[in-house]
Amino acid sequence: MDSVTTPNTCPSVTTTEWVRPETCVALDAFFQGFGFEAAEDLAALAAWALEGVTASNVKPQAAVALARARVETWLTRELDMDVVGEGRLLTRGRAAFVLCDGARFGATVFTRDAVPHELSRALSAAVPVPTPAQVATAMPEQQLVLWPLGERLRRWLRAGQPDMSVSR
């Protein structure tokens, strides 16, 4: 489908009329994940994500990938996270952003360089740490001889099954 001739029905990206509607929808969905709901915020964020993109037929996946990259860069700057695996920064950073209700500051938190100090502090404090690092250890199963006298007799007679707790 030719994106130039496609009528634009995107509700939010009014400034990027040349973008495919499904791309707008995908970008809106992505930023709604951060708690943004206002149309003007979503439009500004879509514009921010596609800043510098000149191709008019940018696909939804590519647009979302760009948005992810931008947000990850922003999160890297804002959060001091020790171990960050593939996608973890975005997942945990987004959770922190939503938990401290970062969307209430509007789209400018992403689009401008200066982040409000209050948000910066709240964001760091809100990064979910469900559990600390593990120190793996085994809890050995204890053995109980339920009837020691009977067990001695059994051994002496060499008969029957051991009368003791069994291994897990």
Partner 1 sequence: MHAHSFSPESAGIRRLFVLGLAAVTTVAGTWEMHRLLSARGTTVPEGVLLALFVLCFGWIALSFWTAVAGFLQLAVSKRLPGLRWPTAEEAAKRLASRTSVVMPVHNEDPASVFANVQATYESVAATGQLDAFDFYILSDSTRPEAWIAEELAWADLCRRVGGQGRIFYRRRTDNTGKKAGNLQDFCERWGRHYDFTIVLDADSLMDGRTLVTMARLMELNPRAGILQAPPLNVGRSTLFARLQQFAGRVYGPVVAAGAAAWQLGESNYWGHNAIIRTEAFIQHCGLPVLPGQQPFGGHILSHDFVEAALMRRAGYTVWLVTELGGSFEQPPPSLLDYAQRDRRWCQGNLQHLSLVAAGGLHPISRGHFLMGVMSYAASPLWLLFLTSGLVAGLWDGWLSFSNPHLLEDLPPEAMHFDAKGSMRLFAVSMGMLFAPKIFGLLLGLASAKDSALMGGRVRLVLSVLLESVLATLMAPVMMLFQSHFVFGTLLGYKVSWSSQQRDDADLPWSEAARRHAVHTAVGVGLAAVAWFLSPGLLLWLSPVVAGLLLSIPLSVFTSRASLGLWLERRGLLVIPEESEPPKVLERSQEVAGEFAMEPVADAVDHVISDAKAHALHLALLESQPSPAAVPMALASARRKLLGDTAEPLSAPEKTAVLLDAHTLTEARERRLTIAVS
Binding residues for partner 1, rule: CB under 8 A, are: 9, 11, 21-22, 25-26, 28-29, 32-35, 88, 91-92, 94-95, 97-100, 125-132, 134-149, 151, 161-168
Smallest distance, Å, CB 148 to partner 1? Answer: 4
* Amino acid at the residue 8: N
Q: Looking at beta carbons only, is 54 or 119 nearer to partner 1? A: 119
Q: Looking at beta carbons only, is 114 or 144 nearer to partner 1? A: 144
* Amino acid at the residue 139: M
Q: Residues, the chain, total?
A: 168
Q: In the block, which residue shows the tokens 């404090």? A: 125
Determine the Cα angle at 142 with ends 141 and 143, to 5°.
120
Smallest distance, Å, CB 54 to partner 1? Answer: 25
* Amino acid at the residue 116: P
Rg (CA), the chain: 29
Q: Looking at beta carbons only, is 4 or 135 nearer to partner 1? A: 135
Q: Are 97 and 79 in contact (CB under 8 A)?
A: no
Q: Are 9 and 21 in contact (CB under 8 A)?
A: yes
Smallest distance, Å, CB 26 to partner 1? Answer: 7
Q: Are 81 and 66 in contact (CB under 8 A)?
A: no
Q: How far apart are CA 162 and CA 93, in angstroms?
A: 56
Beta bridge pairs of residue 145: 164
Smallest distance, Å, CB 136 to partner 1? Answer: 7
Smallest distance, Å, CB 143 to partner 1? Answer: 6
Q: Looking at beta carbons only, is 103 or 115 nearer to partner 1? A: 103
Q: Looking at beta carbons only, is 52 or 140 nearer to partner 1? A: 140
